Amino acid sequence: MYLDGTIRVTATNFFGVIVVAVILAAGVLILGVSFLVATVAKLTRQRTEAREVQQRLSDVVELAADWVWETDSENRFVYFSERFEQVTGLSRDLFLGQNREFLFSRDGFVASEWTQHLKTIQARQPFFGFRYSYFSEDGRRYVFQINGKPVFSRKGRFIGYRGTGTDLTETVTARADAEATEAHARRVLDSALDAFFSLDPDGLIVDWNRAAEQTFNWSREEALGRSVAALIVPGGELDAHRRMMGQLRVGNAWFLNSRVRTTARRRDGSVFLCELAITETWTPHGRTFNAFMRDITDREARQKAMERARYEAEVASKSKSEFLAAMSHELRTPLNAVIGFSDLLFSCPDIPEEQRLEYLHDIRDSGNHLLELINDVLDLSKIEAGRTDLSEEPVNLAELARACTRLLGERAQSALLELREDVPEDLPAVMVDRTRIKQILINLLSNSVKFTEPGGTVTLAARLDDQGRMRLSVADTGVGMAPDQLSRAFEPFTQLDNVYSRRQQGTGLGLALVRMLTELHDGTLEVDTAPGVGTTATCVLPAERVIVDPGKHDAQRRMIG
């Protein structure tokens, strides 16, 4: 451009413009190539990073415990990761192209859960932790838990679900086995006859079986979580219980795995004797102490009864042995007399008449004594065996008393004793077995005559007491008995050991037989005695056997019978 504003083109300027244009074009080309190179490098780097991310995701999917699955818009499975086959051992081909409702069983699951799951899928919403059951051809059951999320295209079209799955078969099976084992253990414990309960180290109850409910009257729900000390330990045993729990906690319990005797308290406060055994077990929650407790109250009572019966049997056996030892003498003495005097009469025909009569009297007395002895033994045996029946009838006691004193009169006279009778004629009759009442009176009179010194007195009396009972008594002024002798005198086959009794013949059955015969008449035998003073034995018959109105004999007979 010139000063006048015009432009004049010359050859020199033209070439300059061309050069400038070439230079500018070269610069633009260089810049474009540089940009292209940078773009290609960036794309290459992005592809590499994408491949790395994809590889990482693939590695995570294959190494994870769960597997990945996908379905199409019709909810048919179209993809399973390889991890599915590794975890379950099932082929993916069994599931690909199949609908979940066709493949999986609803067995063991709540219908409402399935209904809600289907509604979730129809609403294209995500779901978490849903379980399926699948049964293979060999009948094995698999339990799968899945999480899923709906997948949509860029345009918002639903194209299926994608999610993860977990094999819970072993977990569910193990839990079911554990529950079955626990249920079996519970049934075993509930069927046990002994009370069972478990304690934690603090003495709180963590288990309580049915027998414990029945033993202590606390239900399982009431007992769980409560202190065993507050529930079943008697107040007097609390200190011992605290020491026991302390020893269990430090592992120094001498009584562990052994049986000990103790006491326990029921809900109503009653205390009973029991046998306790404690064992220790370890659980995932820590130590527990298991207690088995048995009420031994009845067993102890039976044991004491057995010991008492054994003692009584031993005493009876000893008494019978002593009786047999005494009987050997009692039987031999009259038999020897009978045989000896008989031999004398046979071998010595020239014996004077007076001597011969004396021998005959001895034979008769020995025979009568032997018969009396045998009768007493047989009567006692029949009564003990429960084979004695009473033949009851109205009996006039005044007449019966006279008959008894007549029988014993000669013997009392020979012993230089005074035999008295004190029975009023107007005394009411009694409904009894005449023979047995007579046997009672004869035995009592015989004992008194036998153990009363010459010059003494024997009295037979009868009267009504203020309760309307009939009292038949025989009193003597004889040697009497000490208290310890009296208790032994009522034992069958027992003879008192004193100088005077050893001089008398007897079986030791008198008072025992009299008491049994009295009790057969619903009565009682009372004995009042003292050494050197004498003895009064009284047979007390109940008022029901006293006949106040003779016209009521028949009714009274029926009442007693």
User: Is the pLDDT reported for residue 471 higher than 50?
Assistant: yes
* Selected residue with higher pLDDT from 434 and 251: 434
Sequence-ordered list of residues with C-beta below 8 angstroms from that of 441, at least 6 positions apart, any chain: 400, 401, 404, 460, 472, 474, 539
Percent of residues in the chain assigned helix, strand, coil, to nearest 5 = 50, 25, 25
Instruction: Output the pLDDT for position 349.
Output: 79
Q: What is the pLDDT of residues 99-132, one digit of tens each?
A: 876 666 555 555 678 788 889 999 999 999 998 8
Burial class (CB in 10 A: 0-12, 13-18, 19+), 411: middle
Q: Which residue has the higher pLDDT, 145 or 11?
A: 145
Tell me the average pLDDT across 151-157: 93
What 3-state class would DSSP assign to 342? helix
pTM (two decimals): 0.44
The separation between CA 266 and the C-alpha centre of its own chain, rounded to angstroms, equals 14
Q: List, in order, residues 6 or more apart from 297 with CB less than 8 Å away.
A: 272, 273
Q: For all residues of the chain together, what is the average pLDDT?
A: 82
For residue 557, pLDDT over 60 is answered with no
DSSP 427: P
Q: In whole angstroms, give the CA distance from residue 244 to residue 261.
A: 13
- Residue 424 has a pLDDT of 94
Q: Compare 38 and 317 and report the one with higher pLDDT.
A: 317
pLDDT band at 195 (very low <50, low <70, confident <90, very high): very high
Q: Is it the case that residue 250 has pLDDT exceeding 90?
A: no
Q: Is 532 left (phi over 0), alpha (psi -120 to 50) or beta?
A: left
Please tell me the number of Cα atoms within 13 Å of 79 on its side-chain side: 14
Res. 43 pLDDT band, cuts 50 70 90: low
Residue 23, pLDDT > 80, answer no
Per-residue pLDDT tens digits for 350-404 = 888 888 888 888 888 788 878 877 877 777 777 777 777 888 999 999 999 999 9
Can you tell me the mean pLDDT for 203-211?
92
pLDDT on residue 33: 59
Looking at the predicted structure, is the pLDDT value of residue 204 above 90?
yes
Query: Helix, strand, or coil here: 199?
Result: strand
**Contacts of residue 344, Cβ cutoff 8 Å, sequence gap at least 6:** 351, 359
- With bands split at pLDDT 50, 70 and 90, how would you rate the model's confidence at 503? very low
Residue 237 and residue 221 in contact, taking contact as beta carbons nearer than 8 Å: no
Residue 88 — pLDDT band, cuts 50, 70, 90?
confident
Taking a C-beta distance cutoff of 8 angstroms, is the pair 84, 93 a contact?
Answer: no
**Predicted confidence band of residue 13 (pLDDT cuts 50, 70, 90):** low
Predicted confidence band of residue 538 (pLDDT cuts 50, 70, 90): very high
| Choice between 296 and 137, residue whose per-residue pLDDT is larger | 296
Tokens (6 digits) for 195: 């009370």
